[in-house]
Chain A
Amino acid sequence: MSSPSFEPQRLPNGLLWVARPAPGPQVAVRVVYRVGARDDPTGRSGLTHLTLRLVAGASRYLEPGQFHRMVAQAGGTTSLEVDEDFAALQTVVPAHHLERMLWAEAERMSNPRLDPDTLARARLQVQQAVRQPLIRPYGRLEPAMARNGYLSHPYQRGALGDPEQLKDLEIEAVRAFHAGAFRCDRALLVITGSFDEAAVSRWVLHHFGSVRAPLTPPLEQKDIREPRRPQNQTIKLALPQAPLPAAALVWQAPRADDASTPVWQVAHALLGRGRSGRLTDTLVDELAVAHHLNLWLSQHQQAGLLVAQGLAAHGQTAAPLALALQNEVVRLADEPVSDEELDKAKALLKRDRQAVEWSPDTLARHLGSAWAVRGDLQAAAKDAAAWARLEARDVQQLWRSQIVRAPVLTLLADVGNAPASGASGVVV
């Protein structure tokens, strides 16, 4: 196999495609549409999710269930993913089934069956997907972070949508949305794994090259600017199933393609990655105020959040945990970071970056997201090059300007009816 092309190629109909080798006997085929939950029309949250399920469900030459059976007969797996910024279909099969999968994905792209019967089934699937996380005691916490973490951006609606807003949706509205958003000229086809490059080029041109370029105008996608949070805010949550108090702190973070992203990633690794990240080391092992901690750096195409979330250890309450979390996060700005600690954080980042390329499945996911969210297939490689140059003072300088001086949202959830002291009284 010759060396991979890093830049996607464009077919005459506007479809972009890229093929990259990956270890193992399988191949992954991923179709990513650059339309996400943020593009759902007002009052129709979940329309992207619903449409993706319809596209995945049946088409002119694929009866309901036939695609899944075809994948199963090959010994593969298939999934769909809806994100705030994109919607994707992914299938992994043994390499000798690659051309069949390209046929099937071209078929799902060209001729999805959008009719009232399939709509009813897709509605049920959306409802199940939305309710599924709620079985977990802290399942309402994450949606609350997005809902309150973003001040006005549609990202606050989350990725899955609201089934209530889809109840009275007519199939014509779905067709119109599909025509404007799920289009070959807004999609990227990713092929990863073990393949012959010349054969893949031929197959892509054959099966996808004749997908008709859309006749209708595309959905208008706006670049929405999220305002800066004006002041600190505390919100009290009710999590009736939760056995331990929880606290979350939410700071605003830049959009994914911001030049400072590699610095945020290293800061995140210093605080939250591994067993020796500062948050776990101090709050779980040393002070024993937390049972479990997470730090998420969630950067979307147009805005992002940094979320520090913890479950309090037995006997603790939410507010002191939030204070301890905040102190530890802020401390990164001033407490010295040794070269050894910085190297450890970079080693954790590098390993995860490397691991992406170990299987067709993970590599296809990564490339699809890099294109849809960062607008650059090589974004991760550029990040890795930037990490190597970063010094502790770069991280601390960013932290002082972006975290220490920035307002923070605090979410507090105590157990039962115990009041969360210091809360502004808003109950979500």
Chain B
Amino acid sequence: MNLKRRNLMLGAGFASTVTAWPALAQDGFETPPEAGAAPAVPSLTLAQARLPSGLRLLVLNRPGAPRTALRLIGPGGWLKDPAGREGLAEVALTMLAQGATRGKEAMDSADIAYASDSLGRPLRLDLSPTSAELALEALPDQCDDAVSLLADLVQAPTLTFEALEHVRGRAQDALLLRRANAEQLAPWIGRRLFWGPAYPMQTSASLKRLRRDEVQAFHRLYWRPDHTHLLFTGDITLDAARELADDLYKDWRGARSTPAALTARTAEVGVAAASMPAATARLVPLPRSMACRIVLQTPIPRSTPTALRALARHLLLQRLMARLPWPWSSDIEAPAGVVCWRLSLSLPPEAVPGVLAELREQLPLLAAEPVTAEDLAMAQALALGEWQSRLTTAPDELLAQAMAQGELDDTLQWPQRLRAVSAPVLQLLMSSSWRESRTQLLLTGEAGAPEALQRAWPGLAVATIRSVIGE
């Protein structure tokens, strides 16, 4: 190596009257070196088996991983909330950590918390629109304890009246917090605007209505071995996982009857049947809020392949950040029915009118720009990088999310799926989205005077929280 190649151009900075270079510029380093050859990225292999009880076992073997993640996944997400009982799925899941029996011994919430914390990481309860999940993590020689604890929680929860009251009180407080926080509230209002009134939103009244027998029935209905997956990720084989699970889950039986009250009018049916959302623009003020959450939404067809959606999301985000350099976030939500592509940003109130005016003009143009080969390659690299990061840090979360959304095969074959997308197909999806006639705008929080906002985005109407969520 020749260090002299980078000899400093002494005085170059001082000679310039336009720009001062604080550390003096160098020659020979004008362009970056070429990247090395990209290695082939293999797809994932997930070993699977079904136990006699019907429970499906999945194992992602990661040799050398110091800990094993375990996740029990059931279908009781919040779209299973019956009409008028919004919040039931969340309450039912939360109550699993409030008490259970092991043999003849009772475990209260403190015992459960203690047992999971002793494994090194607290029990996590994750609820999505389409799944309810319990997750633990353990050292290889503690996996039997983790499997056993998960079995107790779903097979023998106590679901007591006292636990219901405790969980209900906490859910009411969480509701208050959500309604005061524009960042938390905006996605929920956005879902109502997108999928209509069928989309379930907890209210104080719906939480008050929940009864213990409904929680018990909901639990029996959705935590059944034939509907449940037990996922292991770590240095463990399918045989070893089966050995751990066989004994503990062999006697688990599902409910024989299905309570009609819980299945007749679930939110899922209404959301799946929701019509294509119309363009709309709403401002939902939150008193004394210090900033505004901007949400933009557009529909994309449900038949759009998952990899294609991801590429479109990455590419538009890059274009948006280059044109309007604020800390944007973007997600795609596909619970049932039409798929929602969402962009979000928090801004100080005084910046909102200017950004809105730019957005209204630029967003359709950015989406309609031609997709070059370079654009496609960048989007593919970003989607692959995101997948690799999630595989490194939380593979169980990645797989569980894919399973909940019915996209497991896509996730396992992600590198190939990304490569299969062509630039014209990507362009077609991009250009058909974010047209003015298909874009929804939602402002939540403090955004300044409505008149200025309406000049920036004509048709913007002020709405109250009550008018959107009914309480």
Contacts and interface: CB of A to CB of B under 8 A. Distances in A.
Q: Which of A65, A75, A244, A362 has the most CB of B within 10 A?
A: A75
Given A93-B385, A243-B177, A351-B67, A136 B183 contact: yes
Interface in A335-389: 340, 343-344, 347-348, 350-351, 354, 358-362
A222 to B, nearest CB: 24
Interface in B5-62: 5-8, 19-26, 29-39, 41
19 contacts: A23-B392, A61-B29, A70-B32, A96-B35, A96-B39, A97-B36, A100-B35, A104-B32, A112-B23, A128-B326, A135-B182, A135-B445, A137-B177, A206-B3, A275-B113, A275-B117, A276-B110, A340-B118, A344-B117
A109 B24 CA distance: 11
B106 interface: no
A240 B445 CA distance: 13
Given A24-B392, A75-B381, A135-B182, A115 B109 contact: no
A168 to B, nearest CB: 19
Interface in B94-132: 97, 109-110, 112-114, 116-123
A113 interface: yes
A106 interface: yes
Contacts of B121: 274, 348, 351
Contact of B180 (A92, A205, A242): A242
Contacts of B177: 137, 243-244, 291, 311
A72 interface: yes
B148 interface: no
A396 B111 CA distance: 24
A283 B26 CA distance: 61
Interface stretch (A209-217, A325-333, A399-407): A209-217
Given A96-B39, A275-B123, A132 B291 contact: yes
B378 interface: yes
Interface residues of A, number: 90
A311 B174 CA distance: 11
Contacts of B36: 95-99
A241 interface: yes
A111 B118 contact: no
B289 interface: yes
A139 interface: yes
Interface string A230-269: 0000000000111110000000000000000000000000
Contacts of B327: 128, 132
B29 A202 contact: no
Given A60-B25, A93-B385, A111-B21, 7 more contacts: A61-B29, A96-B36, A210-B26, A241-B287, A274-B116, A274-B117, A276-B122
B35 A97 contact: yes
A19 B109 CA distance: 44
B1 interface: yes
Given A131-B348, A241-B289, A77 B176 contact: no
B436 interface: no
B306 interface: no
Contacts of A96: 35-39
A303 to B, nearest CB: 29
Given A100-B33, A132-B291, A351-B67, A75 B325 contact: no
Contacts of B3: 205-206, 209-210
Q: Which 8 A-B pairs have the closest CB atoms?
A: A75-B381, A75-B385, A351-B120, A210-B6, A274-B117, A275-B113, A24-B392, A276-B113
Contact of A72 (B289, B318, B326, B351): B318
Interface in B144-178: 166, 169-170, 172-174, 176-177
A359 B389 contact: yes
Interface in A269-324: 273-277, 280-281, 285-286, 288, 291, 311, 313-314
A113 B23 CA distance: 10
Interface of A: 23-26, 60-61, 65, 68-70, 72-77, 92-100, 103-104, 106-107, 109-115, 121, 127-128, 131-132, 134-137, 139, 175, 178-179, 202, 205-207, 209-212, 214, 240-244, 273-277, 280-281, 285-286, 288, 291, 311, 313-314, 340, 343-344, 347-348, 350-351, 354, 358-362
B470 interface: no
B392 A358 contact: yes
B389 A26 contact: yes
A272 to B, nearest CB: 12
B120 A128 contact: no
A23 B393 CA distance: 10
A76 B391 CA distance: 14
Contacts of A94: 38, 381, 385, 388
Contacts, number: 243
Contacts of B114: 276, 344
A198 B62 CA distance: 27
B291 A110 contact: no
A139 B291 CA distance: 11
Contacts of A135: 181-183, 289-293, 346, 445
Nearest to A127: B348
B66 A273 contact: no
Nearest to A115: B19
A273 B119 CA distance: 13
Contacts of A75: 378, 380-386
A175 B19 CA distance: 11
Nearest to B383: A75
A117 to B, nearest CB: 10
Contact of B322 (A69, A121, A214, A280): A69
Given A70-B32, A97-B35, A103-B32, A240 B288 contact: yes
Contacts of B24: 110-111, 212
Q: Which of B3, B32, B180 has the most CB of A within 10 A?
A: B32
Contacts of B291: 131-132, 134-135
Contacts of A73: 374, 377-378, 381
Given A241-B289, A344-B117, A313 B173 contact: yes
A359 to B, nearest CB: 5
B334 interface: no
A286 B445 CA distance: 35
A106 to B, nearest CB: 7
Q: Which of A23, A72, A360, A361 has the most CB of B within 10 A?
A: A72
Given A74-B35, A214-B23, A132 B346 contact: yes
A286 B64 CA distance: 40
B347 interface: yes
B173 A244 contact: yes
Contacts of A115: 19-20
A131 B3 CA distance: 45
